[in-house]
Amino acid sequence: MSDRLEDIAIKMVAEGKGILAADESTGTIKKRFDSIKVENTEENRRDYRELMFSADEAMKNYVSGVILFDETIRQKAKKGTPLVNLISAAGSVPGIKVDAGAQDLAGFPGEKVTEGLDGLRGRLKEYYGLGARFAKWRAVITIGEDGRPSWNCIHANAHALARYAALCQEQKIVPIVEPEVLMDGPDAKHGIDRCYDVTVWTLQTVFHELFVAGVKLEGMVLKPNMVVPGQHSGTTASGEEVAEKTVKALKATVPPAVPGIAFLSGGQSDEDATAHLSAMNAMYDLPWKLTFSYGRALQAAALKAWGGKAENVKAAQAAFTHRAKMNSLAAMGTWKRDLELKAA
């Protein structure tokens, strides 16, 4: 595989492929395992990740890259093959989450800033040696009725994203730049237009900071939220409205030099995340590839089908493959709802 940042970034958003976000921290995967009553042990985490990474059809045809957590990039499959090798053998690019999580932003209650810059250069060097060719850093922006987000929150997070991205590129690792305007949480009462305004404000600030930091846009991938109403807004938006407002926000802020945009699912249902992506690709001719980098919306069905039991591995792989295929079609704008019904 070419080592040029531009080539890796293009591979990450290859036609009809997207990214599997399997980088849940040990705490976050516990929440997922709790939902299926599975104990959060290292072995169970390994077995669960191994079942996805060895789902051949999905990995070879629909998954361009996999975001890993620190533990997973060092883990071996049951038979001893490093999990990273399963991913590369399928032609998919291994990546690594490098942020240290969102912490309270001092002086700004209810807001977070993502930490993890200290020592990052050294960690990137190590991850490169372990096979990672891209990285991820997630910033979270909360909308509230009490003046959130603040300029300080948006600026601090955008600045950290830019410092992270510059360090990644220095180490020949493609940065996934992920500023997430949250749709969920107890305060998410905002409507879709407020999400639009905050998304535009956030993305504009992020690209300004990336420019100041000298980040090469050709060698990065953007991972934004879609423009949707808050979970507790009491309103809904049609797929077309989500597609229209998301594309409008991206056109206003993301330079065409960026090769691709891979959305997070953010708490949307599996089918909404797929339908919205497909609508955008079907409705518009855009300068960037638009694809998926889903965590929950790619894994929820597989997790449920698995339930922690070895005898369910095949069923879980089938569920994962189905979602990956549906999202692959969405990345090409050709997904249809009746494809879901046939599979059900």
120 binds ligand 13P (CB under 6 A): no
49 binds ligand 13P (CB under 6 A): no
Of 328, 337, 308, give the one whose Cα is nearest residue 59: 328
Which residues, 6 or more positions from 260, have their beta carbon under 8 angstroms from its beta carbon?
Answer: 9, 10, 12, 13, 221, 222, 288, 289, 290, 291
65 binds ligand 13P (CB under 6 A): no
Q: Amino acid letter at 106?
A: A
Nearer to ligand 13P, 65 or 149 (CB): 65
DSSP string, 88-103: HHTT-EEEEE----EE
Question: Minimum Å distance from CB 136 to ligand 13P?
Answer: 7
Stretch that binds ligand 13P, among 54-62, 188-196, 214-222, 261-269 (CB under 6 A): 261-269
Number of residues that bind ligand 13P (CB under 6 A): 10
CB atoms inside a 10 Å sphere around CB 194: 17
Nearer to ligand 13P, 150 or 265 (CB): 265
Q: Which residues of 140-174 are buried (b: 16+ CB within 10 A; e: fewer)?
A: bbbbbeeebbbeebbbbbbbbbbbbbbbbbebebb
The correct pick among 138, 159, 190, 323 for binding ligand 13P (CB under 6 A) is 138
294 binds ligand 13P (CB under 6 A): yes
Q: Is the omega angle on the peptide bond into residue 149 within 30 degrees of 0, that is, cis? A: yes
The correct pick among 296, 322, 323, 325 for binding ligand 13P (CB under 6 A) is 296
As a residue count, the chain comes to 344
37 labelled catalytic? no
Give me 20's structure tokens.
């599997």
Q: Out of 24, 50, 178, 180, which one is annotated catalytic?
A: 178
178 labelled catalytic? yes
Half-sphere exposure of 204 (CA within 13 A, CB side): 11
Question: Minimum Å distance from CB 292 to ligand 13P?
Answer: 8
Q: State the Cα angle at 82 between 92 and 63, rounded to 5°.
A: 20
264 binds ligand 13P (CB under 6 A): yes
The correct pick among 10, 12, 21, 83 for binding ligand 13P (CB under 6 A) is 21
Stretch that binds ligand 13P, among 75-83, 161-169, 290-298, 309-317 (CB under 6 A): 290-298
Rounded Cα distance, 134 and 167, in Å: 12
| CB distance 243 to 280 below 8 Å | yes
Question: Minimum Å distance from CB 310 to ligand 13P?
Answer: 25
215 binds ligand 13P (CB under 6 A): no
Rounded Cα distance, 160 and 139, in Å: 9
Residue number of the CB atom closest to ligand 13P? 295
Rounded Cα distance, 225 and 285, in Å: 20
Encoded one letter per residue, x for contact with ligand 13P by CB under 6 A and - for no contact, window 297-326 reads x-----------------------------
224 binds ligand 13P (CB under 6 A): no
Rounded Cα distance, 229 and 195, in Å: 7
Nearer to ligand 13P, 65 or 151 (CB): 65
Stretch that binds ligand 13P, among 204-212, 274-282, 292-300, 332-340 (CB under 6 A): 292-300
114 binds ligand 13P (CB under 6 A): no
Q: Out of 223, 245, 289, 325, which one is annotated catalytic?
A: 223
The correct pick among 131, 144, 219, 266 for binding ligand 13P (CB under 6 A) is 266
310-319's contacts with Cβ under 8 Å and 24+ in sequence apart are 310/47, 313/51, 316/51, 317/51, 317/52, 317/54, 317/55, 317/58
Known catalytic residues are: 178, 223
Q: What is the contact surface with ligand 13P in residues (CB under 6 A)? A: 21, 138, 178, 264-266, 294-297
